[in-house]
Structure 1
Amino acid sequence: MTALLRHPVFRRLYTAHVIHIIGNEFTFIAVVGLLHDLSGSGLSFAAGTVFRLMPYVITSVFSGALLEHWDKRRVMIVVNLLRGILVSLFFWITSPAYLWAAYVLLILVNICSAFFQPAMQVAIVRTVKADDRLAANSLLQGTTSFLIIVCQGIAAMLVYLFSYRFNFLLDAACYAVSLLILLRLPAFADEPERTGSGFVQRLREGFRYIGRQREIAGVLLYQMAERFLGAYYVMLMYFVLQERGEGLFVFGLLDIPLGLGGVCAGLVAGRLADRMGTKGINMALGWALAAMGVSIYAIFHSGPIAALAAASLFCAFASFGSSILAVTRLQQLADPDYLARVFSIREMVTMGSYSVGCLIVGYGAQQAGSAAVSSGLAVFGAAAGLIWLLGSRGQTDSRTGRQLEKETGAGM
């Protein structure tokens, strides 16, 4: 970990990411409060989630193909500038008549984000050695989860003591600081420009490439199932605020066990994944889906808040752990020439699954209650985990010597 933080590119990417996450966690609970206040609906967060994710999903279809011919450093700088300006505008929305403006801002912020994530992934793969990428992904995820613990706790108290609106300004300030760090980001080696192919052709090539690579397609399908299960979170606000009658600050405090589960996942994945091999990782991924299903059932059938928090921690551990392993696996499997497109398509399919899941879960909670919907998610998790375990039996690392050579060379 220390060696990674001495790396000039990764250190700045990591620091900028940390500062952005701090602000993002303050804004997250503020958006929940804003949408709830403006609409008066316990399911307003579900609608907000759709307005966040669908633009992200649609933009991710083509962002990777565009990024291949763009300066990744410049993309990250411009995106953070735009996100900081847009987030600050939430502060001025005070009337239900402008609920539409809140949704427009959510759309614009997430269109920007659809370009940032693939650009950051390319930057990591181009500058971090292949053997260090699992450690890099674990450090990023573990730190993100730790910040969820700290920042959501602070944000919940600020909401309880003051107005949530000031959280939007804090987030805008964090984007400004993150932007200053990215301005000092040194240049890094990029993939050769493919000037002979146009945007539409590159887009088609990306989908055809994934269609030919069964292991990559399998990992993407796995992450779609995991994100569908992750939609239980959109039901949590309805469950806490409406069915249990708790305050908004309780919803914020429940993010603490979620963050703690992510920290534990980062530590365990970083220490054990290299010893497990491909077969062991595939088994861990399959059991993680089943574990998510069981813990989701427990969350919505628990009485005491402490039991709900414990089930949330276990669910987060399984979810974040599977995400770390799956992202690292994609970095290993994808040809560097297709990397930006693979990760932009990944964002499209995973967030698309999450968005569909939010619609189903949100509507189902309103019609049948959270307990019934959580039972359905539990069955889905167990079935998806079993299918993954059966489908991955005997699977080995299929990377060719040429791919390994290119991958290792790219990290130098």
Structure 2
Amino acid sequence: MALLKHPVFRRLYAAHIIHIIGNEFTFIAVVGLLHDLSGSGLSFAAGTVFRMVPYVLTSFFSGALVENWDKQRVMITVNLLRGILVSLFFFISSPAYLWVAFLLLIAVNICSAFFQPAMQVAIVSAVAEKDRLTANSLLQGTTSFLIIVCQGVAAILVYLFSYRYNFLLDAACYMFSLLILLRLPKIVIDTNSSLATSFVARLQEGFRYIARKKDIGQVLLYQMAERVLGAYYIMLMYYILQERGEGLYVFGLLDIPLGLGGVFAGIVVTKISDRLGDKGVSAVQGWTLVAMGLSIYAVFHITPIFGLAAAILVCSLASYSASILSVTKLQRLADPDYLARVFSIREMATMGSFSASCLVLGYGAEKVGSAVVSGWLAVFGVIAGFLWLWTRSRLERQVADM
């Protein structure tokens, strides 16, 4: 693929792959750690909140800071810090130190909030606009494929050995990713020198810019709705480990259909988006929310494990398709001078809605059961999907009448 011959994108892509491999090993290990230390469904939700809330709050200002920083140094520093912090999970073994696990989750995700805007600016600066959909699909498809492979391997390792070694594997992956980024060619970024230079002014400009750009605001609201639905995953942990009483390795294996959905989404979106045009893409976005709502309901009402896996596959396909299309739209709609701020505000908005939804779903699943809560999510997904379709149709009619 021609994109992989590009010296900047090739190294960003390689660093991303290595970092995702480690993340997948750590994710199941964190689930196992929280399960061992507390065994409560609320601990899963709390773990997600302690991951996401610091990320959300840091994302509020990270984009405005990153704009004036060297993007390569930001990514290298973040990976160094994450590698050190993740390795410390290995030493937590007593319920008395559950608070330390939460503290490490907070620290890791504060660091991560600086990586995403830096990487997005680097991709947009290095990749031509006509190739960005392909780049986003490649990144998402590869990420999802790695979920399949790494979660399968992680599940086997958890079954045969201790999940704790996964933390050390992730730390090693961060360090390897760091070495790749050290060889990243100089990234040339065009900026408008007339933009405000103070941090506070840049932050205010970012929010005012999104308020003026209604298309960007609508895409952000759409992604917030998708992330509310995506929070079903935290409920899935409780459902598998507590309500069904399955082993941790079963939960890991169910990440395989989750990854397959992302792979298929990367392939399908790349093939159909050019044929559909903006109107068709907007229609696909609406129907993906509807599909997510219905498949989430199916996940918690199908007893056979293979049926449950099939429902997760459908939900994953819809979710990843929505994400790829939305990220590509934002890259196209946002001016380069505001790109870092737009994506940091996006992270704040989407992960904020995700973490709040995780807390509500975790509490709801423990109080009334996952099956009941999945019905609420199904209704939300269907309403949100049709609301998006209606608003886009109304906008198109207004444009046609002008």
Pairing of 1:9-408 with structure 2 (within 5 A):
9-192=8-191, 196-393=196-393, 395=395
Do the aligned residues in 1 keep the contact of 2:196 with 2:202 (CA within 8 Å)?
A: no
Cα 1:380/1:102, change in 2 over 3 Å: same
TM-score by structure 1 length?
0.95
Structure 1 CA distance, aligned partners of 2:346 and 2:29? 28
Structure 1 residue 274 displacement after superposition: 1.2
SS of match in other structure, 1:43 = helix
Structure 1 residue 112 displacement after superposition: 0.5
Query: 1:183 corresponds to which letter in structure 2?
Result: L
Structure 1 CA distance, aligned partners of 2:395 and 2:256? 37
Do the aligned residues in 2 keep the contact of 1:278 with 1:395 (CA within 8 Å)?
A: no
Structure 1 residue 373 displacement after superposition: 0.3
Q: Percent identity?
A: 72
Structure 2 CA distance, aligned partners of 1:266 and 1:116? 22
Cα 1:261/1:195, change in 2 over 3 Å: closer
Do the aligned residues in 1 keep the contact of 2:41 with 2:362 (CA within 8 Å)?
A: no
Which stretch of the first structure deviates more once superposed, 38-47 or 255-264?
38-47
Moved beyond 2 Å, runs of 4+: 191-197
Structure 1 CA distance, aligned partners of 2:164 and 2:212? 48
Do the aligned residues in 2 keep the contact of 1:48 with 1:103 (CA within 8 Å)?
A: yes
Do the aligned residues in 1 keep the contact of 2:41 with 2:366 (CA within 8 Å)?
A: no
Cα 1:194/1:82, change in 2 over 3 Å: farther
Per-residue CA deviations over 1:270-308 (Å, capped at 9, x if unaligned) read: 111111100000000000000000000000000100000
Structure 1 residue 191 displacement after superposition: 3.0
Query: 1:295 corresponds to which letter in structure 2?
Result: S
Query: 2:103 corresponds to which letter in structure 1?
Result: V
Which residue of structure 2 lines up, in the alignment, with residue 403 of structure 1? none
Query: 1:372 corresponds to which letter in structure 2?
Result: V
SS of match in other structure, 2:76 = helix
Aligned residues: 396
Do the aligned residues in 2 keep the contact of 1:226 with 1:319 (CA within 8 Å)?
A: yes
TM-score by structure 2 length?
0.97
Structure 1 CA distance, aligned partners of 2:194 and 2:225? 33
* CA RMSD between the two structures: 1.1
Per-residue CA deviations over 1:45-81 (Å, capped at 9, x if unaligned) read: 1110000000000000000000110000100000000
Structure 2 CA distance, aligned partners of 1:198 and 1:20? 33
Query: 2:47 corresponds to which letter in structure 1?
Result: G
Structure 1 residue 42 displacement after superposition: 3.1
SS of match in other structure, 1:392 = helix
Structure 1 residue 196 displacement after superposition: 4.4
Task: Give unpaired runs (5+ residues) of structure 1.
Answer: 397-412
